[in-house]
Chains A and B, each alone.
Chain A
């Protein structure tokens, strides 16, 4: 690959209470690209995703070995400020999970707790900017003080994406971000993801093969905790290198 990778993973192993969940994963994720992970349930793709912002630290007994570097810095080094790391590596979950607050407050929250704005005007400006970036502004600009729960599922998910973006992370992780959405909302999120890669590096877990084929630049296939194949998405879905990959993506097992 010609681009300098944003994320470099070397000999990465992960364990839940000693039980191996990821085995010797090596991967380079280029900057401003979308990397999708596919594989059967329990293959380790979500573990991998959650390792990228150390979300798994919250699980008791979770340990790792090997290196996971962002811009060359190992995020598992002792001197890493995990809060800062998570600000830099935002996350969007399977089910939209807005805070029980107004639409405005959902976005403003991250800015406030991180003290990223000096004035009310600056705060409003950034909220607007982020909602615009998420393609939600036109739909909600007149009801910013309404509860976020009043929005549709697809709108809530775009709100969560706006919330992740407002603190200007460099990387956004998405764990099946459209799993609970209808096709139209899914299409909107997919459009948005492709727009966002201009500013962010995106790592996405999806169970929907066609979604990976549609949005990702590169795709990794995981199985039983190992990364089986990693290539350009067009190669992965037209002529995968390994037979097992071919069998999985053509639905012959899994």
Chain B
């Protein structure tokens, strides 16, 4: 064990590690401790953030055994997900791959096999990193998050949830308890790409999600979102609107790429420069449209 983590063990140490088995209990504890308790599920972000200072954490709420928060169901016109679904489970879910391949693809790009086996989609959402891989997919798919407290619950749209780097709209007494994604009847094609320095274990330099829903050859709905290109992952409604009511042939891909570029506000950091990200987000949008065009012509649904 790291020397820094060595502490004498006493019976009291565990009074404040709550490994709850049901949601009701979790909500009660959250109501009592509010922001004075650290939430863990897969723990893959929390243990990295607190490396060598785990002993400084006073109160823990471990949600990993709350079985009622782990599910994937199709209910009429939406797909609902429990926040404890791991990236591994999402990536391998036949139902998800069939209904929302965009999200399955994003989940498959998270971290490494080891991280995907432990990390959860709820954790990805609540950590709220601007680079969170599943977040651009959730935004483009028009997801909503159910935020629940001991007394009530509310549904917040993904695009209203992320407020600043690693900041979100969860109140101190709330937990994320469900993710809802609408399933539209129209035929859809999607694209998700992650730009990074290597394929595995890389934090996105940029990621982009695009989904188009077609009705009689025209784009009826669209979802465009990017990650790592602004203080939060962002959905680009204005770019979506430019595509509505048109066929793919009527779109000017390069101009749409420029429209995406105009609306991002990346920074220079160790993963890439602002200029690089601006140019790559434009080109990735062009590639996304080309990829969808190619699959539409080929009659293939698979991404």
Is the pairing of A and B real? no
Chain A interfacial positions (CB closer than 8 Å to B)? none
Chain B interfacial positions (CB closer than 8 Å to A)? none
